[in-house]
Amino acid sequence: MDIIKIENYEIDNFFQKILRNFNCIPVSDLAVKKSFQWALGTNDLPTREEIELYSAKVKPFAGILCHNLLYSYQKYMRRLKK
């Protein structure tokens, strides 16, 4: 029997997308960390605690903040590639 390993960010994404719990942020996901780094304008990746601190200001909609940051960061990166 094979054991399937489920990461924390997969669980957080499940809560956001399937259960519509918008207070979950996949803080261990590298894309989330990179988007917060881009939004904050820092050179270092933010820690889990820093992401939770910034997202605490918009509870219970922290997941929507995360989704919008990811979308904006991806859009910005696409423009740079052109």
DSSP letters for 48-69: HHHHHHHHGGGTT-HHHHHHHH
Per-residue pLDDT of the chain (82 residues; tens, 9 = 90+): 566 666 666 666 666 666 666 667 777 778 888 888 988 899 999 998 888 888 888 887 777 787 788 888 888 888 888 7
**Cα 69 to Cα 13: distance, rounded to the nearest angstrom:** 15
pLDDT confidence of residue 4: 65
Closest CA to 40 of 72, 80, 4: 72
pLDDT confidence of residue 27: 77
pLDDT confidence of residue 45: 92
pLDDT confidence of residue 60: 78
Q: Are 55 and 25 in contact (CB under 8 A)?
A: yes
pLDDT confidence of residue 70: 80
